[in-house]
Amino acid sequence: RFATLTRQPDDPLLRIIGQHAADPRTNKIDLGVGVFRDEEGRTPVMTAVKAAEARLLTEQPSKSYLGPEGDIGFVRALATLVLGDAVAAERVVGLQTPGGTGALRLAAELLARSGVERIWIGSPSWANHAPLFRQAGVEPAMIPCFDLNTQSFDLDGFLTGLGEAGAGDAVLLHGCCHNPIGIDPDAAGWHAIASRVAERGLLPVVDLAYQGLGDGFDVDAQGARTILAAVPEALLAYSCDKNFGLYRERTGALFAVTPDRDSGATVFSNLLALARANWSMPPDHGAAIVRIILEDESLTAEWREELETMRQRLESLRAALAAGGRIGTIDLAAVAHGKGMFATLPLSPTQVEWLRDRHAIYMAGSGRINIAGFNMAAVQTFHEALRDMVAK
């Protein structure tokens, strides 16, 4: 049967990890996959995470199974942190998932099971969104809504696109720090989206993967909270990869907002069944770490402080990048409108390739850059490389 398969290309984003590692040039710059880096280019384990791991090592009584819902203490602590008081607690159910991707996959399968056939996605979006929903049987419908030249989000265009959506369709929304553009709606924009979603009877799926890396921990959840408060039913996929630096531990959660406790119990039972059929039970280590941190005031404070330092680093790198001003047709100053880890520059695939070959600068083929991949010196090198590119 395997003879019926066709060879699939490597994932273009993940391929950059290997390409960069194999490049012997010492001045190479990795702006590829979205991981946080410090000024020395390291992705350290956060201090609060190390402390929680130490505690886990000495105190964990057993590694026996927990169940398809994972660590419910983790899910509860996270729910408070993420949802605030946007929705009454009895309207929310949640479970632990393998990373934000596991949460999205479960969301997609729940939608398919609920008869949802289409999900509207502002484009460009994270490269894995459309394939993930399509594979689960929910067809993505893209709404172009970003202008790379001005680094702006076209709210009217997005709302008009949603005007085509039928009742019962879903819509995907990036909670904060849009990946790959870095531009989020402002508060008024979120309210306009929430109204449109509610009036058209759409089911929002909020992907919140960068809380704390944009404007601040609570502010970054405001968009998601505005949406969840406006509708009877919604899903929120959460990732702890970036804000707890847990990447390979695959730590995430899926929350469902339901009209009442009874429908919540039905939704939860379906999520458990889907989880069981997918991975049976999620990996424990990352979720246990997050729970230990969130249940301990001083560890929470330590983690929040470290996260805030990371956020400020992203902000200052973005400002340094924007200070390059206009280089040829590229207006770097506009990058200052964004926040979080990413920006996408108006570069062609040929230019991206040229920057890699000539200047050892690695980024996604779309022109997306991971701002945390810079240090202050690398920002200057990047400006010079762009000047070199436009001069040729």
Identity of the amino acid at 5: L
Q: Tokens 């709302």 appear where?
A: 159
Please identify which of the residues 30, 71, 126, 303 carries the catalytic annotation: 126
Please identify which of the residues 242, 284, 303, 331 carries the catalytic annotation: 242
Nearer to ligand LMR, 179 or 258 (CB): 179
**Residue with the closest Cβ to ligand LMR?**
34
CB 126 → ligand LMR: shortest distance, Å? 6
Nearer to ligand LMR, 208 or 389 (CB): 208
Nearer to ligand LMR, 14 or 89 (CB): 14
Q: Among candidates 34, 91, 100, which has minimal Cα distance to 287?
A: 100
Residue 339 annotated as catalytic: no
Q: Are 321 and 332 in contact (CB under 8 A)?
A: yes
Nearer to ligand LMR, 223 or 373 (CB): 373
Tokens of 305: 């402080």
Residue 279 annotated as catalytic: no
Nearer to ligand LMR, 33 or 112 (CB): 33
Would you tell me which residues interact with ligand LMR (CB under 6 A)? 13, 33-34, 126, 128, 179
Residue 306 to residue 137: CA distance in whole angstroms:
40
CB 265 → ligand LMR: shortest distance, Å? 32
Residue 109 to residue 204: CA distance in whole angstroms:
14
CB 182 → ligand LMR: shortest distance, Å? 12
The dihedral built from the CA positions of residue 321, 323, 326 and 327, taken in this order, carries a sign that is: negative
Please identify which of the residues 207, 220, 241, 284 carries the catalytic annotation: 207
**Quick one: DSSP state of residue 32?**
-
Residue 126 annotated as catalytic: yes
Pairing of strands 170-174, 326-327: unpaired
Q: Are 243 and 211 in contact (CB under 8 A)?
A: yes
CB 376 → ligand LMR: shortest distance, Å? 22
Identity of the amino acid at 159: L
CB 13 → ligand LMR: shortest distance, Å? 5
Q: b or e along 186-203 (b: 16 or more beta carbons within 10 Å of the residue's beta carbon)?
A: eeebbebbbebbeebebb
What residues are annotated to the active site?
Answer: 126, 207, 242
